[in-house]
Structure 1
Amino acid sequence: MQFGRTYEEFEVGAVYKHWPGKTVTEYDDHLFCLLTMNHHPLHMDSNYAEKTTDFGKNVVVGNYIYSLLLGMSVPDVSGKAIANLEVESLKHVAPTFHGDTIYGETTVLDKTPSKSKSDRGIVYVETKGYKQDGTLVCVFRRKVMVPTETYIKERGGEQPGRPELNQPSQKNVEK
């Protein structure tokens, strides 16, 4: 199974559909809010949301949706990243609610060799998140520094540092 890509493997215009989707639960939303100290009642207080908002229910905090989509994109986009360089733009297009399922896809917009290091390149991508009904909810663009094939080969291959399984010797097994 592939986890990330080298610079050579990215093609401008390629679209990676991230699978599987994720159904957002109230627990997910509240835990994210608590971890990030976002206690806004729109996200945490169903009575407040019901009585004071046009939606009549809690809205999932937008940065959770962004984080979820970013995580979904890692196996396809940044699994081999050397550095996440920039989030150029982030737009929350429509609200997400508890019970919505989020799906994501990333388009490669451009790629350029690094100006300072020949063994890496910069990939410019746009990730979009959709609800189960196809409603676009989040769009962001970012730049990621990724290794070239040369970088990977010079540093021990696909999984450098991964320990080998120690097989017990046959005489220890027989005892």
Structure 2
Amino acid sequence: MSETTNHVDTDQATREASGAHSYGRYLEEFEEGAVYKHWPAKTVTEADDHLFCLITMNHHPLHINDVYAGQSQQGKNVVVGPYVYSLALGMSVSDISGKAIANLATEGLSHPNPVFHGDTLFAETEVLEVRPSRSKPDRGLVKVHTRVLNQDGVLVAEFRRLVLVPKRNPGTE
């Protein structure tokens, strides 16, 4: 019995030309002031939070011990902040950095309100600035501000980041 080998086209542009969902954007596709409401949202489970804490060795009892957390000012476990940030960053990739050459910086990360097990998080990102690179004509910089809201519309995290993305048509302004 012989095996048949099919050609798999791994080029992103070719796959998108076939009708596949676009993943990320080229520099020319970003517009200052645009707001992308990322989909899908994610309900944070106790297992998500505990696994993230344990694999990152953050064993603070506020995140993994119900008895300890029950005696805290929140009265229950609080989801660890780096998980909330990582989740929001991941939710934004298909709209913002799916074609990124590099993520250059993250700044202004804040967690103004806690996240609890069972909260559903929604993320949205506003494009603050789009500019071509001064040193390389085939790419540019996109500065964005991501906000994370829970199911009640309460802001639970926000951050800004700078992403280096390719131009669709290098050599154009």
1:135 paired to 2:154 = yes
Q: Residue 8 of structure 1: CA displacement? A: 0.2
Q: Deviations over 1:37-73 (max 9, x none)?
A: 100000010100102x111100000110000000000
Whichever residue aligns with residue 15 of structure 1, its letter is: V
SS at match of 1:111: strand
Q: Residue 36 of structure 1: CA displacement? A: 0.7
SS at match of 2:40: strand
- RMSD over equivalenced CA pairs, Å: 0.7
Return the alpha-carbon distance in structure 1 between the equivalents of residues 80 and 86 of structure 2.
10
Identity of aligned residues (%): 63
Aligned to 2:53: 33
From 39, 57, 74, give the equivalent of 2:76. 57
Whichever residue aligns with residue 98 of structure 1, its letter is: H
SS at match of 1:69: helix
Aligned to 1:81: 100
TM-score, normalised on structure 1?
0.84
* Structure 1 unmatched runs, 5+: 152-175
Return the alpha-carbon distance in structure 2 between the equivalents of residues 40 and 61 of structure 1.
9
Whichever residue aligns with residue 86 of structure 1, its letter is: A
From 21, 40, 47, give the equivalent of 1:20. 40
Aligned to 2:167: 148
SS at match of 2:169: helix
What number of residue pairs does the alignment pair up? 150
* Structure 2 unmatched runs, 5+: 1-20
Q: Which has the larger radius of gyration?
A: 1
Aligned to 1:71: 90
Q: Deviations over 1:58-112 (max 9, x none)?
A: 0000110000000000000000000000002201110000000000000000011
SS at match of 1:139: strand
Return the alpha-carbon distance in structure 1 between the equivalents of residues 65 and 31 of structure 2.
45
Q: Deviations over 1:116-144 (max 9, x none)?
A: 10000000000000000000000000000
